[in-house]
Amino acid sequence: GVDLSLVVGSGQGGRIVEKDVLTAQSTPQVSVADDRKVKQVAPLT
């Protein structure tokens, strides 16, 4: 699949069009590991 949050839209107003999705699909996706640790958990009450 394609992560649409990483696709730059080339359509009017920055809209993502079919061409953008097809281009993103053929481009290798880079995944960045998130190594952040939780320092404190706060209750949501």
pLDDT in tens, 1-45: 888 998 999 999 999 999 999 999 988 766 666 777 888 888 898
Answer whether residue 15 is part of any domain: yes
pTM of this prediction exceeds 0.85? no
Answer whether residue 9 is part of any domain: yes
Answer whether residue 32 is part of any domain: no
CA distances from 40 to 20, 43, 44 (A): 40, 10, 13
Q: Which amino acid is at 31?
A: S
User: Which residues lie closer than 8 Å to 13 by C-beta, 6 or more apart?
Assistant: none
Answer whether residue 35 is part of any domain: no
Angle in degrees, CA 41, 34, 25, rounded to 5: 135
User: Which residues lie closer than 8 Å to 14 by C-beta, 6 or more apart?
Assistant: 8
Answer whether residue 4 is part of any domain: yes
Instruction: Give the pLDDT of residue 38.
Output: 81
How far apart CA 4 and CA 14 sit, in angstroms, is: 13
Q: How many domains is the chain partitioned into structurally?
A: 1
- Boundaries of domain holding 19: 1-27
